[in-house]
Amino acid sequence: MAQLSAMAADERRDLADFLETLTDEEWERPSLCPGWSVRDVAGHVPSYDMLGWPAFLAMFARSGFSLDRCNRTRIEQVRGTPTTELVERLRTYAVPRGITSMFGSAIALTDAVIHHQDIRRALGRPREVPPERLLAALEFLPRARVLPSPQNLRGLRVIATDLDWSSGEGPEVRGPGEALVVAFAGRPAALDELEGSGLDTLAARVRG
């Protein structure tokens, strides 16, 4: 559990380091997360860590117990925050707390890996994600009910070609671990990097 928390903190710090290199124009570009700019994604990542449990539960109730509506509320609350402050928040709240610390901080780690790639891929600035972080995200995604991944993976056997990881039964989908994480999270941008008899099924779910 402590290892996942440490990996999540490292991922957030790596994201903060990268964000410090961006131009003003890059901050405003669309990310891979539909409807969210790079700035929005950067503001989202630590936004729940900033809330105590009572504040989160109150917002969740006001949102009709919809995490999507909670996300929109939090994005609206952080829009307009200076980019230097967004970077500082990632560092201040690097260690997961509150809702993101659930499942041993698997939520925080997986969320940070996905959103880091939402930004990197959208800006054409690739990186090599540390394999231990990819592996932890892949292990969590099939049971991450707050994401579309369990539905996207249903009835498929998925295999990472660069990691010792596989999951599920059924028609196969194979590819690099990073591309699998991005695709499972619902981003079509990674589908061209995957292959296998189950790819059409996965693609239809992701694009649908």
Residues 152-186 pLDDT 10s = 999 999 999 999 999 999 999 999 999 999 999 99
Q: Which CATH class is domain 131-207?
A: alpha beta
Question: Do the Cβ atoms of 150 and 156 come closer than 8 Å?
Answer: no
- Report the run of H or E that residue 182 belongs to, with start and end: helix 177-184
Mean pLDDT of 21-26: 98
Is the whole-model pTM more than 0.75? yes
Which residues pair with residue 143 across a beta bridge?
none
Q: At which residue do the structure tokens 């292959």 appear?
A: 195
Does residue 116 sit in helix, strand or coil? helix
Least confident of 47-61, 97-111, 121-135: 47-61
Q: Where do the domains of the chain lie?
A: 2-123, 131-207
- pLDDT recorded at residue 70: 83
pLDDT of residue 74: 83
Residue (of 39, 16, 45) closest to 27 by Cα position: 39
Could you give the CA distance from residue 25 to residue 16 in angstroms, rounded to a whole number?
A: 17
- pLDDT class of 146 with cuts at 50, 70, 90: confident
Contact 38, 28 (CB under 8 A): yes
Calpha distance 32→13 (Å, rounded): 20
Kindly indicate the confidence band of residue 2, based on its pLDDT and cuts at 50, 70 and 90. low
Q: What is the mean pLDDT of the chain?
A: 94
